[in-house]
Structure 1
Amino acid sequence: MTQHPSAARAAVAIIGGGVSGANVALALNRLAPGAFDIVVIEPRDAIGRGLAYSSEDPAHRINVPASRMETDPDDPEHFVRWLTARDIVRTDPGALLPDGRLFPSRHAYGSYVSGQLSAIAGLVHRRTRATTVRRVDGRYHVACADGGTVVADTVVLAICHPPPTIPAALTSLAGTPRLVANPWATGAFDAIAPDERLLIVGTGLTMADIVATLERRGHRGALTAISRRGQRSKPHTTQPAEPYGDFLSPPPATALALLRRIRATLACATAEGLSWHAVLDQVRLQGSDIWRSLPVNERQRLLQHLRPFWDTHRFRLAPQVHDVLERRLHDGALSIEAASLRGVRDCGDHLDVTLQPRHGAAPRLLAVDRIVLATGPAHGSLFRDDMLLRQMLQDGLARPDIHGLGMAVDDNSRAIDADGAAQPRLLVAGPLARGTFGELMGVPDVVRQTRRVAEMAMHVPASSSGRR
């Protein structure tokens, strides 16, 4: 079946119905109600949840206060009002902190976004995957896995988080119960017994979610989490302050200059009794402009040397999840180590894992019952592993960005083709565009960028060819 737009309205096909795709649809509807036929191609049952907000685990919480999780930049308190109207604290008293901040479950946020989409007249949800995108007579034909085709004037790619890549040292365990390769898969932890010893590969937000889930399920076995530096995500401050400092007057020309300015600003903030949070909040707000001001080689240095430290300070833990980690660390049930994997041997009743500690210490063996990957989405391999992006690369419609973070786009979020030309009606929303914009993982940043994408879609004239 081929799905065409109406004769009076332009069609926008949004590929991916997570938070990025949902916010493009919401922004289009706010900016130009009824002006577009919007088709969202998303295999999940609901639009607006994506990977993160599909979780039904009450231990998985949004990791910024609800007051910063709006979908409309012009109405920052909308989500808080939604929570209050539904009396979320009554059913989830742990969502409310003593200081009044709200950190509800991620499932609640998914319900919030999904509910707003249901009110958009004319929005169509195609519960399938897009398999190819091709230009035909000035329009885009999006073929789907269900055999149908969506014909659109504008296509927005809002593909986000792919599953983790299995490290080379663990490929022998691929497909076996000994390795939980995708911790977000339904039933991923069902086979784990309460007393099993687990190795968690990764020490960031995903690791924290895993530990929170295991505790909720009554797990009491030893947990060891490793990463190359052994860093874990930082908590929020208990004394929030306005963003502090300035990193654009003038913008730094090198990654080292940026680091020195951050350190100097931190020293000033400390002298004024402020925590590092206010300084890093300002870096986040100015992050896109900082990123775009740096030469390509300096961006690479930033990614190589500073990104791990940025990630642990930028992507903070919900206080409730931080409390779980602190409790498990204090009890000795969890250890976090700076180490890398050297190998693994299946001994039948357990696994012998060889760990290489950081800074040249001798390798050591760790006996565990199961290994869980918490390395995060494999964005760097998207053009290899995603069938749609692989086709678009082969056809010259798209190409990876030079940093390996996602897709090459220009400053207006237009996809850059094989010839280096920006395509005015092929737009990219969300983390897939972060090679150009730098900071595009948090919801507040995604909301701002998707609004700009919607504005671009509005101002592109629809093709008159192929109308039926």
Structure 2
Amino acid sequence: MKKIAIIGAGFSGLLTAIQLVKQSQGSQIHISLIDQNPYPGRGLAYGTRDDNLLLNVPAGNMSAFPDDTQHFVEYCQEIDPAFHEGTFVSRRIYGDYLEDLLAKAKKEFGSSFEIICANVLAVKRIGNERFSVKTALGHSLVFDRVVLALGHFESRNPFPQKQLDTDSNVFLTKKDIPNLCQNAHQQSLVVIGSGLTAIDLIFQLSSAGVNKKILLISRRGLVPQSHRVNPKVPARQMSDILAEVPSTVRAFLRAIRFEISRRQNSGGNWRDVINELRPHIPEIWSRLPFDERRRFLTKVLPYWDTHRHRLAPIAYKRFISLIESGLVEVLAARLESVQPIASGWRLQIKKRGQEIVEEIDAIGMFNCTGPNSDIHQIRDPLIQQLVNDGMICADQLRIGISTTSNYQTLGKEGQEVKDLFYIGPMLKASYWEAIAVPELRVHAAKLAMEILDRL
């Protein structure tokens, strides 16, 4: 019997395990799903119990299975028949859905499927065929195959001063929210970043009753757009539009803008173009040479993100109402420095297009600048060990983990690391569009097939 370890029990790890169960068809395998989180499947995204926090994707595109697109909708309709493909349901419900999938997989696979609650510190090669997985509990477990289903890692320190180390309690976390409710100081709270993570935090602060002004600070001051009401399933194939486009960022943007203009002139919506483009993003990314990929990251990415990663309509209206009430303000500004003061922190900023340095006193700061994808700057012991031992390597742009087309990791010399696989958001090094359910569910199904084919 072959033993397979899946390290990480968020969406990617859980779906890989479920696909292994689904596709095994009598194969003699034992699956160990390993994660320090006692609630496997929920991860950071779906661990909330707050029903005010909604999915940013309609239910019709959230099935765990690429070959059964109605699976999640049908699950929701068992809760409330009013749910439909266009409903933006709560993240709690999606977490419940994943837990239900896990329970069914465990029941089907019995003792050959185990969940281990532990923090993995190292994965070491034993000879040429097996791996030793060392946990913080002091155990060393032996496996034939290892899947790294590692999700997002904490944000980088956004300040230029190297002495402001993120380990020195500079930034507040969600655990500090109850204390903020009791704090009498009237200074603002500063949230660095203005994307989906920042807006989630604002909703949590608002729901908890934190009655302080919140400043969102990002270089361009861009915020996510809203999904359209009753979003449509992508209907048109974009391949005919993109086939003859030269492999430059400028050419692709020109083609996309032209198609958006054409649609809008006939009563269409730009969101439909972005939705229909999505399945073609990996192909576009593969066509772009290194310099063009870098140009996209430095020049286009913030504008792409605000249109690609959108809010549920009701969440967008809630966010705008907080701005209109004066409780939230979005600043397009560059952070110049930060200094501790008696009541918190003093930030120096330059607003976009200005040279005057302004000061802001804040009772506290939250870092919502997005996950760190540079494995050379991630402090997680497992990542550091894998990098140091040459079992994983970063791509040229340092936005993810380099893999083969069958998800095996590449070592520091560019060689395949046999039977060590990666799945998760750092697949964006190869595919770019690889951080959300519609793409990761496909990767999970393909990865399971690869593993089983190698038995």
TM norm structure 2: 0.91
Describe how 1:395-410 pairs up with structure 2 within 5 A.
395-410=389-404
The correspondence for 1:452, drawn from 435, 438, 446, is 446
* Residue 110 of structure 1, CA deviation: 1.4
Describe how 1:380-419 pairs up with structure 2 within 5 A.
380-381=374-375, 384-419=378-413
Matched, 1:161 2:146: no
Q: What CA distance in whole angstroms lies between the structure 2 residues aligned with 1:342 and 1:410?
A: 40
Matched, 1:51 2:33: no
1:188 counterpart residue number? 176
Q: Deviations over 1:121-169 (max 9, x none)?
A: 2211111122111221311221111122222221111111111222235
Which segment drifts farther, 430-439 or 338-347? 338-347
2:91 counterpart residue number? 106
Q: What CA distance in whole angstroms lies between the structure 2 residues aligned with 1:324 and 1:304?
A: 31
Q: What CA distance in whole angstroms lies between the structure 1 residues aligned with 2:392 and 2:144?
A: 17
Matched, 1:420 2:414: yes
Matched, 1:228 2:219: yes
Q: Alpha carbon RMSD of aligned pairs, Å? A: 2.2
Q: Check the 8 A contact 1:382/1:406 in 2, yes or no.
A: no
* Residue 356 of structure 1, CA deviation: 1.0
Structure 2 unmatched ranges of 5 or more: none
Q: What CA distance in whole angstroms lies between the structure 2 residues aligned with 1:382 and 1:84?
A: 45
* Residue 444 of structure 1, CA deviation: 0.9
Matched, 1:131 2:124: no
1:322 counterpart residue number? 316
Which segment drifts farther, 364-373 or 333-342? 364-373
Q: What CA distance in whole angstroms lies between the structure 2 residues aligned with 1:130 and 1:260?
A: 46
* Residue 57 of structure 1, CA deviation: 2.6
1:312 counterpart residue number? 306
* Equivalent AA in structure 2 for residue 133 of structure 1: V
* Equivalent AA in structure 1 for residue 446 of structure 2: R
Q: Check the 8 A contact 1:15/1:41 in 2, yes or no.
A: yes
The correspondence for 1:179, drawn from 171, 174, 188, is 171
* Equivalent AA in structure 2 for residue 22 of structure 1: L
Matched, 1:30 2:15: no
* Equivalent AA in structure 2 for residue 189 of structure 1: I
2:64 counterpart residue number? 71
Structure 1 unmatched ranges of 5 or more: 1-8, 90-95, 462-468
* Equivalent AA in structure 2 for residue 403 of structure 1: L
Q: What CA distance in whole angstroms lies between the structure 1 residues aligned with 2:160 and 2:387?
A: 29
SS of corresponding position for 1:385: coil
Distance 1:299 1:27, change over 3 A: same
Q: Deviations over 1:267-323 (max 9, x none)?
A: 111112111101111221211111111112211111111111111111111223212
Describe how 1:428-439 pairs up with structure 2 within 5 A.
428-439=422-433
SS of corresponding position for 1:135: strand
The correspondence for 1:206, drawn from 186, 197, 201, is 197
2:292 counterpart residue number? 298
Q: What CA distance in whole angstroms lies between the structure 1 residues aligned with 2:21 and 2:336?
A: 52
Q: What CA distance in whole angstroms lies between the structure 2 residues aligned with 1:42 and 1:389?
A: 15
SS of corresponding position for 2:262: helix
Matched, 1:16 2:8: yes
2:369 counterpart residue number? 375
* Residue 174 of structure 1, CA deviation: 5.0
Q: Check the 8 A contact 2:375/2:401 in 1, yes or no.
A: no
Q: What CA distance in whole angstroms lies between the structure 1 residues aligned with 2:141 and 2:25?
A: 21
Describe how 1:248-263 pairs up with structure 2 within 5 A.
248-250=242-244, 252-263=246-257
The correspondence for 1:150, drawn from 136, 141, 144, is 141
Q: Check the 8 A contact 2:225/2:310 in 1, yes or no.
A: yes
* Equivalent AA in structure 1 for residue 268 of structure 2: L
SS of corresponding position for 1:263: helix
Distance 1:47 1:356, change over 3 A: same
Identity within the alignment, %: 28
1:115 counterpart residue number? 100
Which segment drifts farther, 393-402 or 235-244? 235-244
* Residue 109 of structure 1, CA deviation: 1.0
Q: Deviations over 1:386-414 (max 9, x none)?
A: 21121122222111111211211122211
Which segment drifts farther, 344-353 or 204-213? 344-353
* Residue 172 of structure 1, CA deviation: 4.2
1:92 counterpart residue number? none
Q: What CA distance in whole angstroms lies between the structure 1 residues aligned with 2:345 and 2:96?
A: 40
* Residue 173 of structure 1, CA deviation: 8.1
Q: What CA distance in whole angstroms lies between the structure 2 residues aligned with 1:394 and 1:16?
A: 20
Q: Check the 8 A contact 1:41/1:126 in 2, yes or no.
A: yes
* Residue 346 of structure 1, CA deviation: 2.9
Q: Check the 8 A contact 2:348/2:359 in 1, yes or no.
A: yes
Q: What CA distance in whole angstroms lies between the structure 2 residues aligned with 1:129 and 1:174?
A: 21
SS of corresponding position for 1:266: helix
TM norm structure 1: 0.89
* Residue 102 of structure 1, CA deviation: 2.2
Q: Deviations over 1:201-254 (max 9, x none)?
A: 000001110111122122332111011111001110125343554453135411
Q: Check the 8 A contact 1:224/1:336 in 2, yes or no.
A: yes
